[in-house]
A and B are shown apart, each in its own frame.
Chain A
Amino acid sequence: MLKTFKLGGVHPAENKISSHQAIREIALPKRVFIPVSQHLGAPSKAIVQNGEVVKTGQLIARGESFISSHIHSPVSGKVFKVDEVIDISGYRKQAIIIDVEGDDWVETIDRSDEIKWEVLLSPKEIVDKINLMGIVGMGGATFPSHVKLMVPEGKTIDTLIINGVECEPYLTSDHRLMLERGEEVLIGAFILMKALRADRVIIGIEQNKPDAIAHLTNLCDKFPGFSVQALKVKYPQGGEKQLIKALMNREVPSGKLPFEVSCVVHNVGTAFAVYEAVQKNKPLIERVVTVTGKSLKEPSNFLVRIGTPISTLIEQAGGVPENTGKILSGGPMMGKALVSYDTPVVKGMSGIVLLPDQESVRVRVQNCIRCARCISACPMGLEPYLLAQLVAAEEYESAEKERVMDCIECGSCHYTCPSGRPLLDYIRVGKIKVGQIIRNRGKK
């Protein structure tokens, strides 16, 4: 029997319509918009002036606190200005705007196609390099990757898990990366394993990607300690805690990190970026983005520079369909609805999904019929109906006791609710309020 996680989960229509489209590079845009905050943690600080000439791969914003990340110029050209632009959050945020001129790369970056197998750096050097190259979690959470490699005192890591699950409907960027850049992904995983001093690597892939499973299983022969595990298709298997449970049958305790159970999880996209950073000296300046939708002419997987407006990508995929109602950054379960076609691509953007009008509006909300489907769907074993009820009544202390902070915001509860109740909306409010209460408690 195929492995999977036990508690909860749902199976929305997969709609992986772009899975057979090879990754394509697209022409550089005329102007790029690079938000200084495209990772979890403190925004980085712009270090370029208006009018300054920059090269592709040059550092343009520095991450100055522990949890932050450096940002490099994805293009060569002239800094137009540092201004506020609408990012994926829908708010205006500080961004460095660069007018593209040519494509002049920093000399130290190895741009050859040759695959570099030998890893020369020590674990410590690897962590520093990953930090220096601005690598963040590419699965969407954008947590600075080097922080995930700093194993706390007293803990050891036995297993590095590479997340090739891609459980979100529509998205295929990780799938294509595993198929087309399998070697690099595995070398990246090897680098991460070395940095963590782990014994083995398990690559988890859902069985709806049999070609990727077969390809990586073949390649694993070259890597002692590496194995591929096929997984039953179930959302949210790509969630860190769910994936560790599915592969290792270990449960990360409430409020704790995977370190606690001797595991670290990195996404295949991150492994690829790590390969490029460590072996090719290349900062994180481009990524694979799936551009897809049922009405889109040419659903595609593009290799694009960070900062490219999404309108450029959609144009390349056949233009905005007439019936478009919603544009998502990420998949339809956890993605963000975008407010502007000018939103720039950021490090964590795995896909652009265009939903037609009729799928863009929520269904009518009816009374809760206490069917308990939200409880069956919750992968954290919570009671979403109850949490929503407590938050609506502003009973945050009770919500905390009912473990509202354990919620991973996967959306399975709202997805599965026959009454169309916006359970996750309530729970998000609850998490913010309870978070404030916990912080205030810490201050006292």
Chain B
Amino acid sequence: MSTLIISGSPHIHTDQSVQKIMMGVIYALIPAFLVSIYFFGLDALLLTVVSVASCMLFEYLIQKYLIKGEITITDGSAVITGILLAFNVPSNLPIWIIIIGAFVSIGIAKMAFGGLGKNIFNPALVGRVFLLLSFPVQMTSWPVPRPLFMPQLTDAVTGPTALGILKEGLGAGKSLEELLPQLPTYVNDLMGNQGGSLGEVSAIALLIGAAYLFYKKIITWHIPVAYLGSAFIFAAILHLINPSLYITPFFHLITGGMILGVFYMATDMVSSPMSPRGMLIFGFGCGIITMLIRIWGSYPEGVSFAILLMNAVTPLINRGFKPARFG
């Protein structure tokens, strides 16, 4: 008879693992990745590959030489950070800049806090905001999408994003009616044929991936519904008050980083609250802050800042909003 193993109960374990969850997120990002290659070509591919590789490399180097601990680059989390960082920058960003972004994401936002699970802020967003503040020109020159195998139709190489057109136009005193013709159509917004960060342009591709995340139970409905709902209601109220100054709420939901942020970054397990009620508060806060920045802030887009600000209050939300107890 063999030796018996003893341990406390339970004696069986789910087939879920950190790796499987991370792989699920990576699979969910594939449609948007393919769309980005379709519209932005090899630039998008190269930038994403470099971003992922540098995130993994920095994590490896830090774990090997600085912490001298376990190497965890195969858990998939660094890969996701790399993909999301690339998704949040223009496709024509110089390679050396994305490498700096990867260093900030992994080195500062993740490893300095203690590695996987310990970070307060979403690493990819920290990297993205760092780059935005440090390299404002490169980070806001958006290449015009040019579908693969299609001849270049215009001379313009770069152009503004939909939110940029809106912010600048309204800032210059133009009315919404004058600006509407310059904005991409809803179909283009949904498909991804618009200026923007390489992974954020196609709402449809991102939603397909999000459906997969729901199906795999990697994310729950709480944060996305609260985020989209509060942003929609906020924009709708303003639109109803003054439709010539405030654009329809639908526009806000499918432009900029909204869909990418709502389903892939606000829902980041590590940096969002743990209880269902906490998640609702978190999503609500993200939605309101995003709209405040978009409408009255100096930046055209507010998703990254909104999520980072709410990340900061997540520990407080966790303390204040407990799950419903039994009895």
Residues of A in contact with B (beta carbons under 8 Å apart): 7, 10, 12-13, 90, 169, 241, 245, 251-254, 256, 320, 322-328, 332-341, 353, 355, 357, 359-363, 366-373, 375, 378-383, 385-386, 403, 406, 409, 411-412, 414-420, 422, 424-425, 428
Contact = CB atoms under 8 A, between A and B. Distances in A.
Contact of B274 (A327, A375, A406, A428): A375
Given A325-B5, A366-B116, A369-B117, A337 B324 contact: no
Contact of A415 (B12, B20, B115): B12
Contacts of B72: 366
Contacts of B1: 320, 324, 341
B13 A333 contact: no
B18 A418 contact: yes
Given A369-B269, A375-B275, A418-B16, A361 B5 contact: yes
22 contacts: A90-B6, A254-B325, A323-B2, A324-B2, A328-B11, A338-B6, A341-B1, A359-B11, A366-B116, A368-B117, A369-B21, A370-B271, A371-B269, A372-B275, A381-B323, A381-B326, A411-B9, A415-B10, A415-B12, A415-B13, A415-B14, A424-B8
A378 B323 CA distance: 10
**Chain A contact residues: over half helix, strand or loop, or mixed?**
loop
Contact of B326 (A7, A327, A372): A7
B174 interface: no
A380 B13 contact: no
A406 B327 contact: yes
B118 interface: yes
Contacts of B118: 367
A90 B77 CA distance: 41
A419 B326 CA distance: 25
Contacts of A370: 117, 269-272, 274
Nearest to A416: B14
A169 B12 contact: yes
B64 interface: no
Contacts of A366: 18, 72, 75, 116
Nearest to A362: B7
A50 B14 CA distance: 49
A328 B8 CA distance: 10
Nearest to A364: B17
Interface in B10-38: 10-14, 16-18, 20-21
A425 B2 CA distance: 25
A251 B326 contact: yes
Contacts, number: 157
Contacts of B2: 320, 322-325, 357
Given A90-B6, A337-B4, A381-B324, A332 B17 contact: no
Given A372-B274, A385-B274, A418 B75 contact: no
A211 B34 CA distance: 52
Nearest to A13: B12
Contacts of B75: 366
Given A12-B12, A370-B271, A371-B269, 9 more contacts: A10-B14, A254-B326, A327-B4, A367-B118, A373-B16, A406-B326, A415-B14, A416-B16, A419-B17
A149 B8 CA distance: 32
A218 B272 CA distance: 52
Contacts of A373: 16
Given A366-B75, A367-B115, A411 B325 contact: no
Given A325-B4, A326-B5, A418-B21, A332 B14 contact: no
Interface string B284-327: 00000000000000000000000000000000000000111111
Given A327-B4, A370-B269, A418-B16, A403 B325 contact: yes
A333 B12 contact: yes
Nearest to A11: B14
Contacts of A406: 325-327
Contact of A333 (B6, B10, B322): B10
A409 B13 CA distance: 15
Contact of B4 (A326, A332, A379): A326
Given A337-B4, A424-B10, A380 B326 contact: yes
B9 A424 contact: yes
A398 to B, nearest CB: 11
A171 to B, nearest CB: 13
Given A370-B270, A375-B274, A418-B17, A382 B11 contact: no
A415 B16 CA distance: 10
Nearest to A5: B326
Contact of A252 (B7, B13, B16, B327): B327
Given A366-B18, A369-B269, A360 B11 contact: yes
Contacts of A360: 5, 11
A337 B327 contact: no
Interface in B72-128: 72, 75, 77, 115-118
Given A370-B269, A375-B274, A241 B326 contact: yes
Contacts of A368: 117
B6 A362 contact: no
7 closest A-B pairs by CB: A411-B10, A367-B117, A337-B6, A381-B325, A372-B274, A332-B11, A332-B12
A369 B114 CA distance: 12
A323 B22 CA distance: 32
Interface string B54-81: 0000000000000000001001010000
Contacts of A334: 9-10
